[in-house]
C-alpha cells in the first residue's frame, strides 16, 4: 500500500510538553490519506489520518523511525497517545477486587448511572443513534455496530476496532448471562470475518476482548490485530471474548457470581467506592 502525506500548516507540540525540559525535540502533525481511495464499507483505511512524526529539531523534518498514524478526528488525543513527559509522576494504579456485593452496591450502581449520563460519555449513544460516525461504520446489524476505535492507532499495520452493542441495558460483562451467548458468538464471528476478509489479517492475529471496568458503561468489544501491537496498559482489565463465552457456557450466571480483579486509576470516586465503601460495609466478601 502507498501513502501520500500532505503536510498542512505544521502543528508542533513544544518540547517541554512532550520531552525533557529545554529539549529541541518536537512532534509534527500532518494529514495523510490512503491512496487509492477505497469505499468506507470495505476498509477503514479509506479515510484521513493524522500522522505524528518525532523531529530532531524545530525545522519540521520528520524522523520516520518515530512516526505513527491516528484518525484525524483523534488529533486532540495525540498528546495522550504519546504519553506523559519523562519526569512526570507515575499514575496511581490500584489493584482491586470487585466482588458481586460491591458491584451491586448502591455507590457502584450510582457511579455507573452517573457515568452513563456524563456529557463526555454521550458519544457512544450518539453512535448508536446515528448522530455521529455514520460514515465510518464498518458493520451495522440489529444488535451491534463495528467501527474504528478513534482513541488508539489504526494504520495499515495495526487495527483497533470497537463493536458496540445496541441494547442499552448491557453496561459491562456483569450484565451478561447465558441468554446472550448467541449474541456474543454472532458478534465474534461477523467482526472476525470482516477483519480477515477486508483488512488482511489471519484469525490467529486477532484478539477480541472486553475491559472490566470499562471506560464507558455501554457494552462493547475491542478487536485488535495483530495481537501484541496494542491492547491496554493494564492487562488484568482484559477479558477475552472467547473466555467470556466459555464462562457463560459453564455457568449462565457466571458474571453475577464471580469476583473480578481490576485496576482503578487515580484517587477519584471509583477508588473510594472500592476502598471506603468496602471497608465500611463489609462488602469485601
Find where cell 476496532 sits. Answer: 161
Q: Please check whether residue 210 is in contact with residue 184, taking contact to mean a CB–CB distance below 8 angstroms.
A: no
220 is annotated as an active-site residue:
yes
C-alpha cell at 85: 513527559
Burial class (CB in 10 A: 0-12, 13-18, 19+), 182: exposed
User: What is the residue whose three cell numbers read 450484565?
Assistant: 175
Angle at CA of residue 113, ends 111 and 115, nearest 5° = 70
Calpha distance 262→147 (Å, rounded)? 26
- Of all residues in the chain, what percent are helix, strand and coil, respectively (each to 5)? 35, 30, 35
Helices within 140-240 (DSSP H only): 181-199
- The one catalytic residue in 211, 220, 222, 239 is 220
Count of residues in the chain: 285
Residues belonging to the active site: 220
Amino acid at each position: 500500500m502507498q501513502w501520500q502525506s500532505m503536510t498542512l500548516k505544521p502543528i508542533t507540540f513544544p518540547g517541554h510538553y512532550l520531552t525533557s525540559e529545554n529539549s529541541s525535540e518536537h512532534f509534527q502533525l500532518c494529514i495523510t490519506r490512503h491512496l487509492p481511495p477505497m469505499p468506507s464499507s470495505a476498509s477503514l483505511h479509506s479515510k484521513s489520518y493524522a500522522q505524528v512524526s518525532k523531529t530532531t529539531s524545530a525545522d519540521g523534518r520528520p524522523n520516520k523511525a518515530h512516526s505513527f498514524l491516528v484518525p484525524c478526528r483523534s488529533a486532540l488525543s495525540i498528546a495522550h497517545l504519546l504519553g506523559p513527559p519523562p519526569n512526570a509522576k507515575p499514575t496511581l494504579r490500584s489493584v482491586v477486587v470487585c466482588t458481586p456485593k460491591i458491584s451491586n452496591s448502591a455507590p457502584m450502581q450510582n457511579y455507573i448511572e452517573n457515568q452513563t449520563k456524563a456529557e463526555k460519555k454521550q458519544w457512544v449513544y450518539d453512535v448508536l443513534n446515528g448522530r455521529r460516525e455514520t460514515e465510518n461504520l464498518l458493520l451495522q446489524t440489529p444488535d451491534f455496530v463495528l467501527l474504528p476505535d478513534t482513541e488508539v492507532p489504526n494504520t495499515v499495520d495495526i487495527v483497533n476496532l470497537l463493536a458496540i452493542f445496541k441494547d442499552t441495558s448491557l453496561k459491562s460483562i456483569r450484565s451478561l448471562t447465558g441468554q446472550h451467548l448467541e449474541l456474543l458468538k454472532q458478534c465474534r464471528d461477523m467482526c472476525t470475518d470482516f477483519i480477515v476478509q477486508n483488512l488482511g489479517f489471519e484469525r490467529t492475529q486477532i484478539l477480541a476482548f472486553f475491559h472490566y471496568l470499562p471506560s464507558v458503561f455501554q457494552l462493547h468489544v475491542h478487536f485488535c490485530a495483530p495481537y501484541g501491537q496494542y491492547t491496554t496498559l493494564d492487562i488484568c482489565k482484559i477479558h477475552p471474548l472467547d473466555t467470556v463465552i466459555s464462562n457463560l457456557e459453564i455457568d449462565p450466571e457466571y458474571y453475577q457470581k464471580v469476583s473480578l480483579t481490576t485496576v482503578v486509576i487515580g484517587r477519584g470516586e471509583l477508588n473510594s467506592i472500592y476502598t471506603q465503601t468496602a471497608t465500611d460495609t463489609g462488602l469485601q466478601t
